[in-house]
Each structure stands twice: as C-alpha cells, then as structure tokens.
Amino acid sequence: MTSPVRTFLAPMRARSADEPHRVSTPLELFFDLCFVVAVAQAALPLHHSIAEHHVGHGLYGYLTVFFAIWWAWMNFTWFASAYDTDDDVYRITTLVQIAGALVLAAGVEAAFERTDFLVITVGYVIMRLALVSQWLRAARSDPPRRATAYRYAVGVTAVQVLWLLRLLIPHDSPWITPAFVALAILELAVPVWAEAAPGGPTTYHPHHITERYGLFTIIVLGEAVLSATVAFQSAFDEGEHEFPLISLAISGIVIVFALWWTYFDRSAHNLITRLRTSLMWGYGHYFIFAAAAAVGAGIGVNVDYATHHAEISRTVAAYAIAVPVAVYLFFVWLLHIRPHQRGLLLATYPVGVVLCLLTPLVPGSVEVLAVLLVVLVAVNSMGARRVPDPIA
C-alpha cells in the first residue's frame, strides 16, 4: 500500500468523525513541543512571584497568560481534528501559529513585570489570525459546513481586533482587567455560536481529541517533573539542606506520578460524543492544564523555601503545591472520573480535594500530600476493578 502524495494546496474537506487509526501527527506533536516554551515561560514568573510573597499579582498574571496559551492550543487542536489535510499550505500555516506562540512566550516577562501586553498580544493575534485563514479554506472546500467555518472566521477576527484595541487602555487603568474578562468570554462564545450554524457542527474525532488532550497533559506535568529534578540537583549542590530537598524531590515525583495516573486511569473519548458535553469537557481542561503546570511552580517555591531563598512561611509554600493539586484533582474527577463512578467511590475525589487543602496545616505537608495521593489512586484503582464501568 503506497502513501498518498502530499500536494501544495489540497481541498480542505471535513474528515470523518469515526475514521479508523486517527492519531496525532508529527506536526501536531511538534506544535505541542513548541508550546512547552510558552508554558514554561508562564510558570516561571508564577514561581518567583509566590516565593517573593506577591501571590495575588503572580496568580493574576499566570491565569491570564495561560488562558492565551491554552485557548490558542485548543482551537488548533479541534480544528485539526476536523480538517487536517497535511498539505504544504496547512503545514506552513501551522508553523506560523507556532511562531506566534514563541512571540507570545517572549512577551510573558513584560506582561508579568511591567503589565506590558504588547508583545504577548501580538503573538496571540498571529496565532489566531493564522487559524482564521484555515477556517476560510475550510469554508471554501466544505460546502455543508460553510456557515460554521465562516462564523469561526468572522468571530475570531472580530475578537482579535478587540484584543488589539485593548492595547490602547493604559496599563494602570482599572478597566484593563474587566476588558480582559469580557474578551475572554467572547473568545469562549465564538465556538458556541459557530457550532450552532445551520450546517451543523464540525466533525471532530473523539479518540483523536482525547489523545491530543492527554499529550498536552503530559507536557504540562513535565513542568513538575523538571522542578522535582531541580530539587534533586539542589540537594547535591547544597549539603546543609540535603535531606529536606531529597524528601521534597521524592514527594514531588510521587505527586506527579499520581496526577498522571488519575488523568489516564479511564478513557474519555465516549464522554465527548455530543456538542454540549464536548464544549464543557474541552473548556474544563483549562483548569487541569493550568493547575498541572502550577504544580511545577509550587515545587520550585518549596525548593526556594527549603534553601532559605523564599520570603514566605512554610504554610504559604505548602499551599503553593496543595492548591494546584486540589484544583487538578477536582476537575479531573469532574470531567473524567465522575461519569464512571458509582456508590461510595463517587465521594473519594471530593474528600481527597478537601484533605489536600488541609495538608499545609500539618508538619511535612508535601510528604503527607504525596501519601494522600497514593492512597487516593490505590482506593480508586481497587474499587474500579470491582465495579463495572457504567459508560462502557
């Protein structure tokens, strides 16, 4: 069987939602890899802000920057699931989106330190307008869903104009945050409006989508793995803090392993077969992705605390890990685990979330958190083997 010959410009027809052997492409994997840079650039200032006791400022900057990263990644992912032609123009347009992500990453420091959103906005708009060109191609080649594609193109373009106009608002204006919230809501509303077009929704592939989300989850968890590695390195470099840092590093690795386990314990492709549930599932991952990357920042904060380089208390340092872990667990349970659970197992994750938020109040909080997550994984794994999956 010979491989099809790639052309410079192929018709961008909708791919089948039940296409067999639909997996992530090398271009999509490269796209994700380049987004690692943007994720790392967002997590680093959060780490420093918490360590310097500027928690509110750091959290605000992180959540706003991460929204831009996540939203651009998510829109490309769902578009590619329906219209990936892998012709030359498609590849070039995707590479332009990657370039936009790198520009965005370059502007993260200015956004955090000086509330200067020029570079980060330009990078974001580059990513979004490149996708608009893809939607216009889809509108030309896919007559049944032409109205849907045009709605995406018009909606995305209009919001990008508004993002650029937001740059005219002074950095210290009280309107800067309400303007961001309003534009973020408009961004979220575009797919809802577009997918309701008379031509019907796009033909995303459930297996492909869940694989793409799983791969990005691994990427953001990689930030925590990196931070745990730094803890090991610091333990060998700083002899006087060796034991606390080794304990932190081991606990951090266990926490990351447990977070990976909870996400991939059950398949989610059968949960996104309808538009409404797909939107909720896709949008809810903002909290999973942001929390996973923030766990890495939290481990970094605790390394600074253990080496006396942080200006915060032990409790604040512990919450830097406990809060993102709790947020991650809650949304993984809400989106992935809850539909599969019955009986007493249904309460294990909510109880675990509450206990996570209490761990900073006890000595050895990070180690206690790691043990708690191991118990949570063990209880749910054993319970899942006894109870048939109601979704299957």
User: Which tens digit of pLDDT belongs to each residue from 161-171?
Assistant: 999 999 999 88
What does pTM read for this prediction?
Answer: 0.91
Percentage of residues of the chain with pLDDT beyond 70: 91
pLDDT digits (tens, 9 = 90+) for 265-291: 877 777 777 878 888 899 999 999 999
Annotated domain spans of the chain = 26-195, 206-386
Name the residue among 255, 250, 238, 226 with its Cα closest to residue 306.
Answer: 238
Q: Is 206-386 CATH 1.10.3470?
A: no
pLDDT digits (tens, 9 = 90+) for 18-46: 788 888 899 999 999 888 888 888 888 88
Q: Low-confidence residues of the chain, pLDDT below 50?
A: 1-3, 387, 392
pLDDT digits (tens, 9 = 90+) for 101-118: 999 989 888 888 778 889
